[in-house]
């Protein structure tokens, strides 16, 4: 799927851009929006055209529920019933496609039954466009909105192709007004050049760095899933490889989406802000999958009571939020356990917050990163048994020697790990590189504060930058033959 998606983007992006600006300037902005909708639906159907019916049904039903909420917003009891019905529809859709097989498997295990159903295929992006629409319905009810958006604007908001595979989760208040902005169809050379360079850099991160680590991590995790016992060094190579794979995979996709969208003069939310530089798990969740963290905060944690009902209730709310956040990532007990562990660690983070007088920034960063490496094992493992096996190998210190280190750890792996570490821990992120330019919507205040501390942007409209970006883009294109799927498209 991934290679086909790249082929689509690289082959049709010039046509898409030229068509967008030509149609917009000849026939008007609304026709340009129709063009983007058609382009997005073609992009979505590239993987499986049958799910076009599903996403269009989802859009139509949610728009109808939204219209009903608006119509009855002065009669709160009726509006609430419409909201509840909309939530049941969205969560029911997600439960069927994403969790029904998981539910049947657990019923068979618990009751020793042998219920067989056909394997339900998970539609690409369903978690993202479902949560996107849930936030839309909740906001209409909360804010007593009395006027709905145009159907075409709402449809584009949901199916907009840069976010469709792996996010971010969009918010209607940030996105839809941009589609009606008078400058949408005005070609902006600055946006185009920055967007193109962002796309090239992100493509390099994905296919050259992430996919290299994928080639190391996948066989080792697969071997563990099949019952093989990894050695000490193999288990650490597997866990570190996946740590960098998911970083550069998700970072690469998020920044590709920002670059693509910027070429169409549309800003989407930042979803990734140097998370491995975090000094605590709380900060990590302000920097990793930012749009999901924000959704869980605004539409789950705060409605549960947030921190308004005392310390104990706050800690309970954190745990519930992270458990459901883990389940959102996939229908497996590994994801639930991963979310639960993060919830417990965040509870401890909040419980002892402010009690430690002396803080060593470097040590905080090391401890946080060490925890992250370990929790990614659960996230990636095929089963809880496989995860336990890998953890056992990681902390089994018998038989360690220089000879086994030389035999089991390739030199090129060490080089790539060093290269990935430099980018992850020391180099500026894209928002710091392009400081002073609007390239994305940054939502968390601490990320905005970090950006403000950056002295100046690093990007220059120069031949040197063009050469570097062009070289990395060429390397990425030449590496695409062995490209693997985006990790987050299956969530």
Residues 6 or more apart in contact with residue 36 via CB below 8 angstroms: 20, 156, 160, 161, 264
Closest CA to 130 of 100, 161, 86, 173: 86
Asked whether the beta carbons of 121 and 101 are under 8 A apart, the reply is no
Q: Which residues are catalytic?
A: 329
What pLDDT, on a 0 to 100 scale, did the predictor assign at position 6? 63
Helices (H) and strands (E) in the chain, counts: 23, 0
Domain extents for the chain? 2-187, 190-490
d(CA 6, CA 302): 39
Phi, psi angle pair for 437, to nearest 5°: -115, 140
State both tokens at 342.
């993060």
Asked whether the beta carbons of 258 and 160 are under 8 A apart, the reply is no
Asked whether the beta carbons of 417 and 240 are under 8 A apart, the reply is yes
Q: What is the pLDDT tens value at each position of the chain, 491 positions in all?
A: 444 456 666 777 888 899 999 999 999 999 999 999 999 998 888 777 889 999 999 999 999 999 999 999 989 999 999 999 999 999 999 999 999 988 888 888 888 887 777 778 889 889 999 999 999 999 999 988 888 999 999 999 999 998 887 889 999 999 999 998 888 999 999 999 999 999 999 999 999 999 999 999 999 999 999 999 999 999 999 999 999 999 999 999 999 999 999 999 999 999 999 999 999 999 999 999 999 999 999 999 999 998 888 888 999 999 999 999 999 998 999 999 999 999 999 999 888 876 666 677 889 999 999 999 999 999 999 999 999 999 999 999 877 888 888 888 889 999 999 999 999 999 999 999 999 899 999 998 888 888 888 877 777 778 888 899 999 999 988 887 665 666 655 55
State both tokens at 225.
């899933």
Asked whether the beta carbons of 2 and 490 are under 8 A apart, the reply is no
State both tokens at 289.
């999958």
Q: Whole-model pTM? A: 0.93
State both tokens at 364.
């905080």
Q: Quick check: bond before 168 cis, omega within 30?
A: yes
∠ Cα 291 277 414 (to 5°)? 115
Closest CA to 230 of 406, 392, 402: 392
Closest CA to 298 of 92, 132, 461: 132
Asked whether the beta carbons of 147 and 271 are under 8 A apart, the reply is no
Token look-up 């975090």 returns: 278
């Amino acid at each position: 799927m991934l290679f086909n998606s790249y082929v689509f983007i690289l082959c049709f992006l010039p046509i898409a851009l030229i068509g967008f600006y030509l149609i917009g300037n000849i026939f008007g902005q609304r026709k340009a929006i129709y063009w983007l909708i058609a382009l997005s639906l073609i992009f979505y159907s590239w993987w499986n055209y049958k799910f076009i019916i599903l996403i269009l049904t989802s859009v139509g039903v949610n728009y109808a529920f939204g219209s009903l909420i608006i119509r009855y917003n002065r009669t709160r009891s009726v509006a609430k019933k419409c909201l509840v019905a909309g939530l049941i529809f969205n969560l029911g859709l997600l439960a069927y496609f994403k969790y029904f097989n998981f539910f049947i498997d657990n019923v068979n295990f618990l009751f020793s039954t042998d219920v067989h159903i056909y394997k339900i295929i998970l539609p690409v992006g369903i978690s993202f466009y479902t949560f996107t629409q849930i936030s839309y319905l909740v906001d209409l009810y909360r804010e007593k909105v009395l006027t709905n958006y145009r159907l075409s604007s709402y449809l584009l908001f949901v199916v907009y192709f840069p976010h469709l595979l792996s996010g971010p989760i969009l918010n209607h208040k940030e996105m839809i007004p941009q589609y009606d902005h008078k400058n949408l169809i005005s070609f902006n050379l600055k946006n185009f050049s920055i967007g193109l360079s962002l796309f090239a850099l992100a493509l390099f991160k994905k296919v050259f760095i992430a996919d290299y680590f994928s080639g190391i991590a996948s066989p080792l995790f697969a071997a563990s899933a099949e019952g093989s016992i990894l050695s000490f060094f193999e288990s650490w190579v597997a866990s570190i490889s996946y740590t960098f794979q998911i970083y550069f995979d998700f970072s690469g996709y998020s920044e590709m989406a920002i670059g693509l969208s910027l070429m169409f003069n549309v800003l989407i939310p930042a979803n990734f802000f140097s998370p491995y530089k975090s000094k605590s798990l709380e900060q990590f969740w302000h920097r990793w999958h930012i749009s999901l963290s924000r959704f869980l905060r605004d539409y789950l944690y705060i409605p549960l009571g947030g921190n308004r009902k005392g310390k104990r209730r706050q800690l309970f709310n954190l745990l519930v939020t992270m458990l459901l956040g883990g389940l959102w990532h996939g229908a497996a007990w590994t994801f639930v356990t991963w979310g639960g562990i993060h919830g417990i660690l965040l509870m401890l983070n909040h419980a002892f917050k402010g009690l430690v007088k002396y803080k060593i920034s470097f040590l905080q960063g090391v401890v946080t990163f060490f925890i992250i490496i370990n929790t990614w094992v659960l996230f990636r493992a095929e089963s809880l048994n496989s995860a336990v096996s890998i953890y056992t190998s990681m902390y089994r210190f018998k038989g360690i020697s220089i000879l086994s280190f030389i035999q089991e750890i390739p030199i090129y792996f060490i080089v790539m790990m060093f290269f990935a570490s430099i980018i992850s821990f020391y180099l500026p992120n894209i928002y710091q590189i392009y400081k002073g330019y609007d390239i994305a919507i940054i939502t968390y205040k601490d990320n905005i504060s970090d950006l403000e501390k950056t002295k100046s942007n690093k990007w220059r409209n120069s031949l040197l930058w063009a050469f570097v970006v062009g070289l990395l883009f060429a390397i990425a294109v030449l590496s695409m033959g062995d490209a693997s799927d985006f990790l987050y498209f299956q969530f």
